[in-house]
Amino acid sequence: MTQHSKIATVLKFCMAALAVSGPLAASAGQQDAAKPTRYITQTDRLIVRYKDAVDTSRLKAPAAVPANALSAARQAVIDRAGQQFGMTLRTLRATATGANVLQLSRTMSLAEARQLAAELKARDASVDYAEPDRIMTAMAVPNDPSYSQQWDLYEAAGGINVTGAWDRSTGSGINVAVIDTGYRPHADLSGQILQGYDFIASTSIANDGNGRDSDASDPGDWTPAGSCSAGVPGQDQASSWHGTHVAGTIAARTNNGAGIAGIAYNAKIVPARVLGRCGGYTSDIADAIVWASGGSVNGVPANANKARVLNLSLGGSGSCDTTTQNAINGARSRGAVVVVAAGNSNVDAANSSPANCAGVIAVAAVGRSGGKASYSNYGSVVDVAAPGGDNGAGILSTLNSGTSTPAADSYAYYMGTSMATPHVAGVAALMLAANPNLTPDQVEATLKSTARAFPAACNGCGAGIVDAQAAVNAALAGTGSPTPAPAPAVTWTSCAPEGGTCSFSGTREVRYGANNSFVTKVVTGSTACTNAVFGDPIPNVVKSCSYSSATVEAPAPVTWTACANEGGTCSFSGTREVRYGANNSFVSRVFTGSAACSNATFGDPLPNVVKACSYSSATR
C-alpha cells in the first residue's frame, strides 16, 4: 500500500487499530523538526448579528424564514463605518443563528477587522455583536515517521486501551460528524459514510467549482505558495485529504481483512465539508456545527442523520468567536458532544479557537511514550489527551494518493492534535452506544474521571490519557458525574396582543411572535408589542407578546467622562468606547489607553463646530 508521511497542521485526528491481511510498510526516515502553525491573519468578511435577529437554527421550518435583509437605516450605518476604513460592505448571507455575513471590498488584517467591527457596534445600538469572519485551518506540519507499528490503540504507554472496550461497545447506532475537508470514497470506509453537506460558500476556497451543495466529497485542498496571504503557505502544498484521515480513525471498517481498524467501527460518519484551499470561514464552520447536530440552516436540507458527536480537528488563534460559541451552545442543547483539537503550536490553548470555547472537550496530543507531543498546545482549557504521534511514530489512517486531485485509495501516517481528537470522538461514540442517555456534560466528566495518569511528562494536558475500556465500563455502570440539578423551567406569561403594551415587574425577556417562532428582547418594566420594536418574525400573521418567569440583571447604565477638547489627547485605562462630537451628535470608536481627539481619527460629524471627546464608563 502506498504510504504518505505527514504531520497534521490542520487539527487532525488519529487512526484506529490495524487489521490487515499483510504488513503495512511505513516510510523510514528522520522526522522533520515540528514547525509552528501558520495562521491566516487576514479576512475579507465580517459577521454582524442584530438584537432583533431570528435564530433560525431552532425553527422547525427554516425555509419559511427569509435571509436577513438589512434596512436602509442599518445599511447606511454600515456604509458610514466602512467609510472610516476606506471600504464598502455588502450583505453576503445569513447564518443559522441569525447573524449577517458581510463581504468587505478588500482584505484587511484581523486587527483592522476588529476595529471595523467595534466601529459598527459603536455606531448602532441595535447590533448584538460584530466580529471578523476568521479563517480556520487544519493543523499539520510535514513528517517522515520511521515506525510501522500501530501503537495508538493498545500500547500501555501512549495508547487508548480500546481493545478492552470492543467486547462491550463498537459504536452501533451512533453518528459522528467530521467537520473537516470532506471525505474520499475508500474501500476501508465503504458503508461507513452517510449523507453529508458541503458548507463552503466561497468557490475559491471550495476548489470544486461551486459553492454550497449536498456533495461533501473532498476534491482536494492543494494550495500554491502564497495563495492564502503573504507568505502563506511558504511553499506549494499537496492535498491533505485530512477529513478522510480523521474519518478512518473514528470508524474505518474492522475485521474485514484489509487496512486499518476504526475505534468505533460500527458508528457512522456524517461528513460536513468546511475546509478547502487556505482553510475555511468561521461562518461556514458554525453553520456546519448547527446542521450536523440536528439544527436548521437556511437553504440547507434538514440533516436526516443527526450526529451525537462532532469532531472538529481544526482551529485558529484568538478568543472564541460569539458566532462559534452560539453554534456550540445550540449543538450541546441538542445532545451533541463537541470534541475539538487543542492546536499544534506548543502554546497555551487559551488562545486557540475553538478549543477555548465553553462546553467543548479540548484534546491535547501525546506521543508513543505517553508524554506530551512536542507540538501540542496545553493549558487549563485542555480536558484530556490522546495519541497524536511524535518523534517518528505517527497515526496511521485512510487517505488518498493524489497530490492535487483524487487518485487511488491509500493509507498514511499523520501527526497532530488533529489526530488525537478523533481518538476521543471515537471513544465518546463507544460510550454513547453503550449508554445513549448520557448528556454531553456526563460524557466529558466520565472521560476525565476514567483517564489514566500520564506515564511521562505532560504538563497542561488535562486529566490524563483517554482510556476507552474504563470510559465504556463507566458509561454502562452509570458512574459518570451525576447530572446537575436542572435550572428552574422558564415559563411565559401572555401580556399583550400585537399593538398593545406588555407590562411586568423588573427586567425580563419578552418574546414576540406566534406559532413557536419568536423574537426576544430584554426589557425593563414594559414595552410596546409591535413590529417597530421587535421586527417582524412572521409576516402576515397576528402576533402577541409574553414575558419570562425569570428576571435578568439589567445592564449597567453607561456614563461618559470628558477627556479632551478637539486637537487634544483623550487618555483612560483599559479598552473603552470614545465618542467625538458636540450637541448630541457623536462618532464613536473603540480604543485602548488613549486616542487623538481629532477629525483625522474620527472623521468630522459636525463641520465648522468645535468638538470634544469623552470616554465610556464601561470597559471592553
The residues assigned a catalytic role are: 180, 242, 418
Taking the C-alpha atoms of residue 379 and residue 100, their distance in angstroms, rounded to an integer, is 33
DSSP H helices in 186-241: 203-206
Taking the C-alpha atoms of residue 508 and residue 556, their distance in angstroms, rounded to an integer, is 15
The helix/strand count (H/E) of the chain reads as 11, 27
Query: How many other CB atoms are there within 10 angstroms of residue 32's CB atom?
Result: 13
Taking the C-alpha atoms of residue 46 and residue 132, their distance in angstroms, rounded to an integer, is 5
Interior angle at CA 309, CA 307 and CA 314, nearest 5: 110
Taking the C-alpha atoms of residue 547 and residue 520, their distance in angstroms, rounded to an integer, is 9
Query: How many other CB atoms are there within 10 angstroms of residue 553's CB atom?
Result: 8
Contact 276, 223 (CB under 8 A): no
Taking the C-alpha atoms of residue 59 and residue 404, their distance in angstroms, rounded to an integer, is 40
Taking Cα atoms as reference points, which of 12, 84, 80, 91 lies closest to residue 45?
91
Q: Is 562 helix (H, G, I), strand (E, B) or coil?
A: strand
- Close Cβ partners of 504 (under 8 Å, ≥ 6 residues apart): 493, 495, 510, 525, 526, 547
**Burial bucket for residue 168 (CB in 10 Å: 0-12, 13-18, 19+):** middle
H or E element, residue 89? strand 89-94
Interior angle at CA 75, CA 74 and CA 78, nearest 5: 90
All three cell numbers of 250: 473514528
Where on the phi/psi map is residue 72: left (φ > 0), alpha (ψ -120 to 50), or beta? alpha
Dihedral sign for Cα 474, 476, 477, 479, please.
Answer: positive
DSSP string, 245-296: HHHHHHH---SSSSSB--TTTTSEEEEEE--BTTBEEHHHHHHHHHHHTT--
Contact 144, 29 (CB under 8 A): yes
Q: Is 531 helix (H, G, I), strand (E, B) or coil?
A: helix
Q: Is 38 helix (H, G, I), strand (E, B) or coil?
A: coil
- Close Cβ partners of 153 (under 8 Å, ≥ 6 residues apart): 16, 17, 18, 159, 160, 162, 163, 261, 263
Contact 68, 176 (CB under 8 A): no
All three cell numbers of 554: 439589567
Taking the C-alpha atoms of residue 418 and residue 444, their distance in angstroms, rounded to an integer, is 18
DSSP class of 568: S
